[in-house]
Amino acid sequence: MASRIVPQFNTRIPTSADKKRARERAIEWMKFRKDHLFTQRRLADNIHCARRTVQAIEAAETLWPTPDLLKRFRDLKQKQELQARRYDERISAAAQTNKQALRQHGIGAVA
């Protein structure tokens, strides 16, 4: 009977803190996808990894993702939040302009 070859990386035993961090990371990734309308496939394409990797992280199966992957996710998250903030500012500015135009022409009751 042949013995199984066990990879030598990640030989540490996961602690409850590791599992808790994996659950928090899973929630963070799923919330990001929901907030920014990303599918697992689109997120994987944007951070250059496999869809299965995203799926494993969101299922808290991956306790120690690579630091490079986490950095790419953080960078994407910052970029998306900056775009969302800029979009909100543009919408607010447009709404302000519309209010001023309505007041100038005396149309309707504007709060």
H helical segments located in the chain: 16-35, 40-46, 51-58, 67-105
pLDDT at position 109 is: 56
Domains (range + CATH), the chain:
16-105 (1.10.260.40)
Rounded Cα distance, 90 and 105, in Å: 23
| pLDDT tens, position by position, 30-85 | 999 999 999 999 999 999 999 999 999 999 998 899 999 999 999 999 999 999 88
Q: Would you say residue 111 has pLDDT above 90? A: no
> From the CA atom positions of the chain, what is the Rg in Å?
23
